[in-house]
Amino acid sequence: MSFEYKQLKINKISIVGAGQIGPDIALHFAKTLSAAGVEIVIIDIADEALANARKKIEKKIARGEETGAFKSQKANRMRQAFSYTKDYQQLSGSQIVLEAATENEEIKDAIFKKIESICDENCLFFSNSSHMQPEVIFKSMQHKNRCLVTHYFFPAERNPVLELIPGKETDPGIIDMLSGFYESIGKIPITVKSSYGYAIDPIFEGLCQTAILCAEKGYGTVKEIDKIAHKVLGLGVGPFTALNLTGGNPITDHGLEEMHEKLNPWFFSPKSLHDAVINQTPWPTAKRGEEVPVARETADRLSKQFLGAYFALASFIMDTGIVALNDLNMATEIALVVKAPFSLMNKTGIKKSWELVQAFCKEHNQFPLPSSLPKAVENGGWKLSDIRSKIEDHVAILTIMRPKYLNALNEKVITDLHEALLNAEKNTSVKGIVITGFGNKAFVSGADIRMLAGLKTKEDAYNNSMTFHKVLNYIESMKKPVVCAYNGFAFGGGNELAMACHQRISRKGMKVLACQPEVKLGIIPGAGATQRLPRLIGFEKATEMLRTGKSISSQEALEYGLIFKETADDLLSEAKSIAMLMAEGKLEAKLATHYLNQVPDRLPDTDIGELSKKIDQILCRAILDGATMRLDKGLELEARLFGKCLNTEDMKIGLKTFMEEGPRAQAKFIHR
């Protein structure tokens, strides 16, 4: 058995280094690849390190089994995937060797010399480093085209972000392939050009430096500083707590000193950090549940320090040109559990953000004023998009990129998509368009629940619905064919987006592909499902899906006529082929018809269980009355009835239940 992704066929992965992060990286590979029979080898020169690695891995698997994260069969399969050895010859036959040893140039160089002498000409060589450049790590390698840095974030088996850092001689095709490979196993890879510390660590370590300097200057205590950083930046934990949890003092101390020489002179290791490393002392952070009062003046001063530092650091990274703006914004938020930096600048106000940075740089006079931020001020803010666009073989591939929210739609996403579609329509080299979602789980998980909860009046709801209709109607009317590639499940607005496309395909064998779960939230669909779904798959099946929230598999979607085909091959390649066939007139579109030939007097009897009878009445009216109208009139009716849901108690109950208890909770509707 093996795991296959495009030309990459994997049956063995070896991890060199059984210290802090190596076992966690190995555990992620085991979670995602052991079902395909992939062997995971962990190699270290020390028996104690191997024993500790085994203990750590088995403890985490057991915990996952206890909590239900892993079924017993999967847990056993993961355990059986591992082998632990001091014998470097066990590297032989690996398709990937990942080194996770200490941040030491000589040690890494020696390891890779040994690795290359054992492995064959097809093996890929990765180094997990948090700072060192690939040109330094792989300086002695003969096959530098197969070498790159993969920077995992703590904890590596759960934190999805991964920086891919190619060297000057790394084959670009390998980077493209590995981006897709890592996406297919649940990671969020971003590509970063070679630079010391890469894109995200200078931001994290710069915030740690800021926190330590604030303490040294007497701006607040360690506990106060942690609390304000957590509050202002939305950090999962404060910087001092993060250093304690990750054992990060030594690597941050070293990293800051190196950044002083290689990035800009502001970076340096403060005396108290250096002392903490020498004395091996943790920071005196607050205990769990401890209340930390902070005076207003102290909070204001610390807030300005952290916002100024955060905005300056993120803008500085953009000045270096090593990473794309949208990638850095998204990956920083997820990797560091912090508010997305450029989104936060826009929300704070771009002029105010610039003032905060200027004040920070005036106090910290060795930090250079960023050049990219004033340009953003001139443009009215950072131009951010949740859509990634690329053109391959005359087809524009538009990927909805909101992995933190499973690609959920809100008005910004749909506006970004509209802009990307307009650009594709205008581009004369583009013959067809594919819309897909990022990752291996969701095409689009639905409408962003926070957007729905923010609707206060029926007019708000009507306008929100019409915003979606405008874009989806545009897709439907485009001259160039638009294919939806369901890379994962499509709930609510995701399926409504798919139904506006000219054709739809999915990955083969998906147990859950499409669902219209709005009734479980106490609302009706607001982006076209009440009109397009009956026109595409017929009243009986559409009514059942709409009134009960029932999901269907990819096989059922094919049988119903919702999708054109399932594919076991590369989804995007198949979608591109279908788009080109349509562009050449060799395949017809399947769109919702403007009129329905036959409209029943009443809908089929449907058991809606404990769902809202009030919402069901509104929904039935949308389906039946809309079916007698032209499609555009039916969609406008849907928008008005969607707004009517705002006047019901059941919508408030449904949304409140979802937000407080999660998607699996059953709302207790009162039918009014």
CA–CA distance, 289 with 150 (Å, rounded to integer): 36
610: helix, strand or coil: coil
User: Which pair of tokens denotes residue 557?
Assistant: 């979607």
CB 578 within 8 A of CB 587: yes
- Radius of gyration (Cα) for the chain, nearest Å? 27
> Which 8-state DSSP code applies to residue 161?
E
Distance CA 592, CA 518 (A): 20
User: What is d(CA 434, CA 395) in angstroms, rounded to the nearest whole number?
Assistant: 7
Looking at the chain, how many residues does it have?
A: 672
User: What phi and psi values does residue 93 have, to the nearest 5 degrees?
Assistant: 90, 0
Residue 518 catalytic? yes
Which of 286, 131, 272 has its CA nearest to residue 208? 272
User: What is the rounded distance in angstroms from the CA atom of residue 394 to the CA atom of residue 404?
Assistant: 30
Helix, strand counts (H, E) of the chain:
27, 20
Among 583, 634, 625, smallest CA distance to 472 is for 634
For 638, residues 6+ apart whose C-beta sits below 8 A from its C-beta are 465, 524, 525, 526, 528, 530, 531, 622, 626
Q: Name the catalytic one among 116, 496, 566, 636.
A: 496
Distance (Å, rounded) from C-alpha 412 to C-alpha 431?
26
The Cα 546–Cα 623 span in angstroms is: 9
What CA–CA distance (Å, rounded) separates 24 from 85? 17
Which H or E run includes 320? helix 296-320
d(CA 168, CA 504): 40
Distance CA 592, CA 522 (A): 26
- Residue 257 annotated to the active site: no
Q: Which is the catalytic residue, given 224, 333, 476, 518? A: 518
- Asked whether the beta carbons of 149 and 134 are under 8 A apart, the reply is yes
Beta strand 432-437 pairing with 482-486: parallel
State the angle between helix axes of 529-537 and 493-500 in degrees (0 to 180), rounded to the nearest 10.
60
Distance in angstroms (rounded) separating the CA atoms of residues 12 and 41: 8
Question: For 418, what's the count of Cα atoms within 13 Å in the CB-facing half-sphere?
Answer: 15
Q: 370: cis peptide before it, omega within 30°?
A: no
List CB contacts of 128: < 8 A, sequence separation 6 or more: 17, 21, 22, 25, 98, 99, 100, 149, 150, 151, 152, 156
Classify strands 489-491 and 514-515 as parallel, antiparallel or unpaired. parallel
Half-sphere exposure of 225 (CA within 13 A, CB side): 25
- Amino acid identity, position 492: G
Residues paired with residue 651 on neighbouring β-strands, in sequence order? none
Catalytic residues: 496, 518
